[in-house]
């Protein structure tokens, strides 16, 4: 953005003497960057190819007069901000009013009064400078807003990632116990509000301590990951939640699922784990890794005070599965 005395001025006048007189006046007033054009057409070509901060435009020119040039300038989105001072030998109020209505900043009559010329040129350039500064500030502000929006988006991504990680089990990648508690409470309330069934599956790996003792804890961690992956493939619906409940124990929350649906899902999980064919030579029931599962279900008509009873009943069913030989599914229906 140029200082006022460094601004680019354009004189458009078909009369060489008038151009020269105005040129000298402006030079003496301290404006070194002045371009001359002998016609409206040439003046527009200069505007199209060079930066111009102020145009001093003669009104009476052949072919394309000053009013035509002014109209053309103000109809162009890029050029309409360039201030224009109309120069004329005629002191006609009607002509002055027309020029102002068309967008001219000011109107000067010949011969020039140097003081008046300086005041009006300075005022127009000051206005142009303020406009340019506003445009620049708006551009900077828009750029800052864009940077802020990008930063905010990146922050939201990081925030979501951190929140997601806070819900995940660090080993298996499925939901952790904390998230399980949150989801169970939410689904428990929804089941009571909507008068729908809610089921829970608890399961753990049979003789997992013996597995760790035999194959080592790294193999044990890998076993847990494979079991979680196998169970996750069985869980199809978006609201169903598989979580690591603790150690080698897992849990599945099944909204809007009755007892038969829970037993069916549990049996699929049991089958998927057994068919991983993970060797378990220390198991007392099977040469491969297996799991015992227990399910519990609340029905719409029941009045159960807390979600903990659902966990308690699923845990009792799991205990029954282990007591009766493991690698099986046992269901416990809350009678309410």
Task: Name every residue whose Cβ is closer than 8 Å to that of residue 15 and which is 6 or more positions away in sequence.
Answer: 58
**CA–CA gap between residue 291 and residue 318 (Å, rounded):** 10
**CA–CA gap between residue 201 and residue 272 (Å, rounded):** 15
Active site residues: 248
CB-based contact 70:102 (threshold 8 Å):
yes
């Amino acid at each position: 953005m140029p200082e006022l005395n460094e601004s680019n001025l354009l004189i458009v006048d078909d009369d060489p003497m008038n151009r020269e007189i105005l040129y000298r006046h402006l030079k003496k007033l301290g404006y070194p960057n002045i371009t001359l054009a002998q016609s409206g057409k040439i003046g527009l070509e200069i505007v199209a190819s060079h930066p111009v901060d102020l145009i001093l435009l003669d009104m009476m020119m052949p072919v394309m007069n000053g009013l035509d040039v002014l109209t053309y300038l103000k109809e162009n989105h890029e050029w309409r901000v360039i201030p224009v001072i109309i120069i004329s030998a005629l002191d006609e109020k009607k002509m002055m009013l027309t020029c102002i209505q068309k967008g001219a900043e000011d109107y000067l009559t010949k011969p020039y009064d140097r003081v008046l010329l300086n005041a009006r040129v300075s005022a127009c350039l000051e206005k142009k400078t303020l406009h340019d500064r506003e445009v620049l500030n708006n551009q900077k502000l828009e750029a800052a807003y864009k940077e802020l929006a990008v930063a905010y988006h990146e922050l939201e991504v990081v925030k979501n990632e951190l929140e997601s990680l806070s819900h995940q089990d660090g080993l298996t990648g499925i939901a952790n116990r904390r998230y399980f508690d949150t989801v169970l409470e939410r689904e428990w309330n929804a089941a009571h509000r909507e008068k729908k069934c809610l089921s829970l599956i608890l399961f753990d790996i049979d003789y997992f301590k013996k597995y760790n003792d035999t194959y080592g804890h790294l193999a044990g961690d890998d076993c847990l990951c494979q079991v979680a992956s196998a169970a996750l493939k069985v869980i199809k619906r978006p609201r169903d939640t598989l979580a690591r409940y603790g150690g080698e124990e897992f849990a599945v929350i099944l909204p809007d699922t009755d007892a038969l649906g829970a037993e069916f899902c549990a049996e699929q999980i049991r089958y998927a784990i057994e068919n991983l064919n993970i060797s378990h030579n220390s198991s007392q029931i099977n040469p491969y890794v297996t799991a015992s599962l227990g399910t519990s279900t609340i029905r719409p008509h029941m009045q159960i005070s807390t979600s903990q009873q659902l966990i308690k009943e699923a845990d009792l069913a799991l205990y029954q599965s282990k007591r009766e030989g493991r690698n099986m599914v046992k269901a416990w229906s809350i009678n309410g």
